[in-house]
Amino acid sequence: MMVRTQIHLTEMQTLRLKELAASEGVSIATLIRRSIDRYMMESEHTDRAVRKARALAVVGKYASPYSDVSQQHDRHLAELYAEVGS
């Protein structure tokens, strides 16, 4: 389903879109939809990169009294949750 939307473009944008649409044999609307899709994809990749950077920023930031956290993390969490629940 398509939703009709009205946008305002500069004369230069309109001229360039007409030229591109004619050279590719597609409508201006198709070019605009493609551009929006590309923008959203790039934005999504940026969001992932930012989230990854934030996650990696905490690596090594916190200390633990346990030397076996990577192997026994479930047990340690269960112990902590038991303490909090008491």
Cα separation, 48 vs 42, whole angstroms? 10
Cα separation, 79 vs 66, whole angstroms? 12
The pair phi, psi for residue 57, each rounded to 5°, is -65, -25
Name the average pLDDT for the chain: 90
Q: Which long-range contacts (CB under 8 A, 24 or more apart) does 54-63 make?
A: none
CA-CA-CA-CA torsion sign (52, 57, 59, 63): negative
The band of 39, judged by pLDDT with boundaries at 50, 70 and 90, is very high
pLDDT tens-digit map of 40-58: 988 888 888 888 888 888 8
The residue count for the chain: 86
